[in-house]
Structure 1
């Protein structure tokens, strides 16, 4: 055999070997287009934080179903080496999987095998992390074109080549070390990477910003606390808007039919409401935004003049409902204040609100506006006992809405709190609260810190409930296989019958408790389900009596990604 022919044969054999071991050719990555994002609900991958623009957390896959879910096994796993909270879902395009860790590492894997393709480690060596609430977490990435995008703790958005991990651009949105940070997963809409900022506990003035996906150039920036000359500016005392909070620290939703972006806004600063009389727009609200310009179309405020850190950042799921025989294009959300809201997404009018947790501070509604109980308002020298605690009836971990059952699945906390006012002065980089507090057990749920519950979205009423002695801090994933997946604080991934709440499968115990958001995808017709174990976040830091409970206090730490399949 000639040397030349031998070299050709060797090259051919090498190429076959490379392909058989799962390596990728340059053409293996399918670009994520606007059309694919618009149709993400039907994609075999998991293209964005809550799967699709409606934030449904529902996948139309039934390969894994109620009849065979008991056969799920771990097919690959990965230890991150971090002992902080792990909150990101795996984001999947084809056979590429992207997942972030605490402190802004981004890792790409082959989705079907777990083969590591590349790792990006963001440089935080010159960044003070002491002003980041709560825990140095990250909630995932966005995909567009051939790039993957991550928001960072030092207020940057980084774009990387999805195939290689090479940095395409790295843009600073705000100076680090002044109480601002970004922990959310970006959302891409019409070629713009949209992010929001954290920092409401430090008097940061919240904002939502849009960057050009190709260049990183800022397209617009919308502050969530209006200046005096802007609509809503008169709901603040003079000068208070500059330190008014309103962090926009969770990923929004998008209605392509009306070209409207929906974004949740967090608590006002300082916490003590008597220091800032007025409704304090747009804190504790959902705002409807024109994506081209950042203009606010309308808002709905869940908790006016909030004095309990009830936020309004929780995800809004876009869904159609039939309430009392009238059909509505709605958005639904389980608010921190303990109420489950259905709001008309075309005009921001309240359709209904129903309690899903013990709620005393927000006592009812008048003309569609929440009413708060003056007796539940703390002040300097006045301590109150109120429910839920500032951790909320539900915190950031997302609900899922299943179009087959027409139910929302809500990870619920059962806590109350004592809270008392205190004097406070603003200083950049220091907590801006003006209140002391202690999380305690809910007297209506003495033996359960948490639960999973199903709510009929047409009525807001509970259908079933799975109680938990430990807090339930895992996100929700529902599928066309009739299943609901969610992870528990003691380290199990559960599969519930979505209709009844019956536990159909429980994984072997994982290495840590679950804060992570599960996702599911298909490669070559095979369905996978994955979730992060990695306890941390706000509960161990701020959880009061709940955090001191030995069952909670002794939850082991350590980030570990688990991928399951049949």
Structure 2
């Protein structure tokens, strides 16, 4: 990185530090060590994107529970300056809280009071932001040692001193505006910061990269589209790997027992599959990686030769289950293609697949591999109708899992689409699709664009369902208090009874629809729930008939972070 760029970023951050000052000395910042990250499931804070390395989104707190959740009140809030999608969870260490905004602002607050501590505004001067899908969002930070880490839209990873906001290092992985962007929340692991890139809609060749947490030096890079001389390279036509997509834009999971990093991979490029015959590894897959080297141990492909933009990036949750009387160390993922997958995380073999939304393009499995319907494949001058739409049975907003009951809480979309092939050629920085499309209602759900549903992971079967007339675009949070939290598009944070789905509490209406990922933490004996409202993301941009629904079209914009407690 050029020294001038580093100094420019440093000066900007120092100039923007707020005068609120540091938290009192007795509330000093505790370094986030490997040991603490390994035990993050039990920590009083919320130390990483999905709380712990398993990606469960489950907190063992019961101060707020089914008997008293109706007494929740707002205790502090913060309004941002942006009218875009707000997707970051609050990351909390002790009494320090970190949250990001669109266009790469990073704010630090006192977690218990909302007192502003400092703000870092990443310098995007001269960056066109034209190759960012979908919306100029950011999904949060990672913590390691005394630093906080953020990935940026211009393909940098920045490390800041968590106590002051002062930049420590700044590493650029790619030039902006040529197909790559970064919206991912980094994952801190064993002295490294791991990130993945976006850009599948622009023909960018995806990869996952690990940087040294102390210096920012790149340690390894694993391309998700293999070259011809690499395993899986023969699943692509000659030369197609260079523009093959495979973005890795959601945070992975980590299994300490086997020392394996799991990371989801997105759609191939171009979208139209007839232009790239073959399975197109490792798109629409989960990769099991050696975190020291990035080498692939095994993979599982959710949608071979994807032509519907079904991706495979959705969170990979690690949980032990019992299926048909046999125990498994499982990895579960609710895929965009409408199927809930349970995979043996020790070897990559399918345990089961069950539909959780209407799914007509992926029809089932043969020898553990998904089977697709050739009649549902678009082509030049061939229009098809299929379910779900490319927005998915579930998109990026994460599920959560009750680790005691093995029940998952899944934000669900009910959409279908028409899709037709078009001629396309690759040009750097321009969309690389080859398909036109329109999102429409799912005929099986004529009155509901979305739902929250509970699914027993031991069987893959639904336990309860909460239908929604509006799309449900918010992640879920599960707690030991028997409560599931998730926010609706019309601006209400819901508290569900985890066993029954009964709504136990709704917040006052927020200033925008909920899109942020809820998290919870404790300071002393007091438990807090935090969540961003701030409508945006992919639904209003790509949502077709759903986006034109007056109730969706008129959702107010504007980012607003809310914190609730008893």
TM (norm. structure 1) is: 0.96
Distance (whole Å) between structure 1 residues aligned to residue 451 and residue 368 of structure 2: 28
Distance (whole Å) between structure 2 residues aligned to residue 318 and residue 432 of structure 1: 33
Distance (whole Å) between structure 2 residues aligned to residue 31 and residue 37 of structure 1: 10
Distance (whole Å) between structure 2 residues aligned to residue 511 and residue 198 of structure 1: 29
2:219 aligns with 219
Q: Structure 1 unaligned segments of length 5 or more: list them.
A: 1-19
Distance (whole Å) between structure 2 residues aligned to residue 477 and residue 405 of structure 1: 15
Secondary structure class of the residue paired with 1:444: coil
Distance (whole Å) between structure 2 residues aligned to residue 131 and residue 312 of structure 1: 20
Secondary structure class of the residue paired with 2:201: helix
2:187 aligns with 187
Secondary structure class of the residue paired with 2:247: coil
Give the alignment of 1:420-459 within 5 angstroms: 420-459=420-459
1:547 aligns with 547
**Deviation readout 1:51-81 (Å, 9 max, x if unpaired):** 0000000000000000000000000000011
Distance (whole Å) between structure 2 residues aligned to residue 78 and residue 220 of structure 1: 38
Deviation at 1:24, TM superposition (A): 2.8
1:100 aligns with 100
1:162 aligns with 162
Deviation at 1:514, TM superposition (A): 0.6
Deviation at 1:406, TM superposition (A): 1.7
1:35 aligns with 35
Matched pairs, number = 547
Secondary structure class of the residue paired with 1:352: strand
TM (norm. structure 2) is: 0.96
Q: Confirm or deny: 8 A CA contact 1:528 1:565 kept in the other structure.
A: yes
**Deviation readout 1:162-210 (Å, 9 max, x if unpaired):** 0000000000011111010000100011010000000000000000000
Q: Structure 2 unaligned segments of length 5 or more: list them.
A: 1-19
Deviation at 1:546, TM superposition (A): 0.0
1:253 aligns with 253
2:372 aligns with 372
2:87 aligns with 87
Distance (whole Å) between structure 1 residues aligned to residue 67 and residue 410 of structure 2: 24
Secondary structure class of the residue paired with 2:489: coil
Deviation at 1:404, TM superposition (A): 2.6
Distance (whole Å) between structure 1 residues aligned to residue 253 and residue 406 of structure 2: 19
Give the alignment of 1:271-420 within 5 angstroms: 271-420=271-420
Deviation at 1:128, TM superposition (A): 1.0
2:147 aligns with 147
Secondary structure class of the residue paired with 2:431: coil
Q: Confirm or deny: 8 A CA contact 1:334 1:394 kept in the other structure.
A: yes
Secondary structure class of the residue paired with 1:35: helix
1:473 aligns with 473
**Deviation readout 1:482-521 (Å, 9 max, x if unpaired):** 0000000000100000011000000000000011000000
Q: Confirm or deny: 8 A CA contact 2:22 2:163 kept in the other structure.
A: no
Deviation at 1:21, TM superposition (A): 10
Distance (whole Å) between structure 1 residues aligned to residue 537 and residue 435 of structure 2: 21
Secondary structure class of the residue paired with 1:45: coil
Q: Confirm or deny: 8 A CA contact 2:540 2:547 kept in the other structure.
A: yes
Pairwise CA RMSD of aligned residues? 1.0
Deviation at 1:563, TM superposition (A): 0.1
**Deviation readout 1:318-360 (Å, 9 max, x if unpaired):** 0000000000000001000000000000000000000000000
Secondary structure class of the residue paired with 2:274: helix
Distance (whole Å) between structure 2 residues aligned to residue 26 and residue 239 of structure 1: 59
Distance (whole Å) between structure 1 residues aligned to residue 561 and residue 129 of structure 2: 24
Distance (whole Å) between structure 2 residues aligned to residue 343 and residue 329 of structure 1: 8
Deviation at 1:405, TM superposition (A): 2.6
Deviation at 1:446, TM superposition (A): 0.6
Q: Confirm or deny: 8 A CA contact 1:405 1:498 kept in the other structure.
A: no
Secondary structure class of the residue paired with 2:124: coil
2:13 aligns with none
**Deviation readout 1:433-456 (Å, 9 max, x if unpaired):** 000000000000010000000000
Structure 1 moving runs of 4+ over 4 Å: none
Structure 1, 169-178 or 262-271: larger mean CA deviation: 169-178
Query: Residue 509 in 1 paired to residue 509 in 2?
Result: yes
**Deviation readout 1:6-27 (Å, 9 max, x if unpaired):** xxxxxxxxxxxxxx99833397
Q: Confirm or deny: 8 A CA contact 2:129 2:176 kept in the other structure.
A: no
Query: Residue 72 in 1 paired to residue 72 in 2?
Result: yes
1:529 aligns with 529
Q: Confirm or deny: 8 A CA contact 2:83 2:559 kept in the other structure.
A: yes
Q: Confirm or deny: 8 A CA contact 1:405 1:499 kept in the other structure.
A: no
Secondary structure class of the residue paired with 2:444: helix
Secondary structure class of the residue paired with 1:160: strand
Structure 1, 36-45 or 122-131: larger mean CA deviation: 122-131
Distance (whole Å) between structure 2 residues aligned to residue 235 and residue 21 of structure 1: 56
Q: Confirm or deny: 8 A CA contact 2:27 2:95 kept in the other structure.
A: no
2:56 aligns with 56
**Deviation readout 1:196-237 (Å, 9 max, x if unpaired):** 000000000000000000000000000000000000000000
Secondary structure class of the residue paired with 1:541: helix
Distance (whole Å) between structure 2 residues aligned to residue 295 and residue 406 of structure 1: 31
Secondary structure class of the residue paired with 2:419: strand
Distance (whole Å) between structure 1 residues aligned to residue 21 and residue 313 of structure 2: 43
Distance (whole Å) between structure 2 residues aligned to residue 152 and residue 303 of structure 1: 29
Give the alignment of 1:192-271 within 5 angstroms: 192-271=192-271
Distance (whole Å) between structure 2 residues aligned to residue 106 and residue 248 of structure 1: 22
Secondary structure class of the residue paired with 1:433: coil
Distance (whole Å) between structure 1 residues aligned to residue 345 and residue 490 of structure 2: 37
Distance (whole Å) between structure 2 residues aligned to residue 23 and residue 51 of structure 1: 23
Deviation at 1:38, TM superposition (A): 0.1
Secondary structure class of the residue paired with 1:201: helix
Distance (whole Å) between structure 1 residues aligned to residue 382 and residue 496 of structure 2: 44
Query: Residue 486 in 1 paired to residue 486 in 2?
Result: yes
Q: Confirm or deny: 8 A CA contact 1:422 1:434 kept in the other structure.
A: yes
**Deviation readout 1:333-388 (Å, 9 max, x if unpaired):** 10000000000000000000000000000011000000000000000000000000
Structure 1, 171-180 or 268-277: larger mean CA deviation: 171-180
**1:184/1:316 Cα in 2 relative to 1: closer, same or farther (>3 Å)?**
same
Q: Confirm or deny: 8 A CA contact 2:22 2:117 kept in the other structure.
A: no
1:560 aligns with 560
Distance (whole Å) between structure 1 residues aligned to residue 174 and residue 293 of structure 2: 20
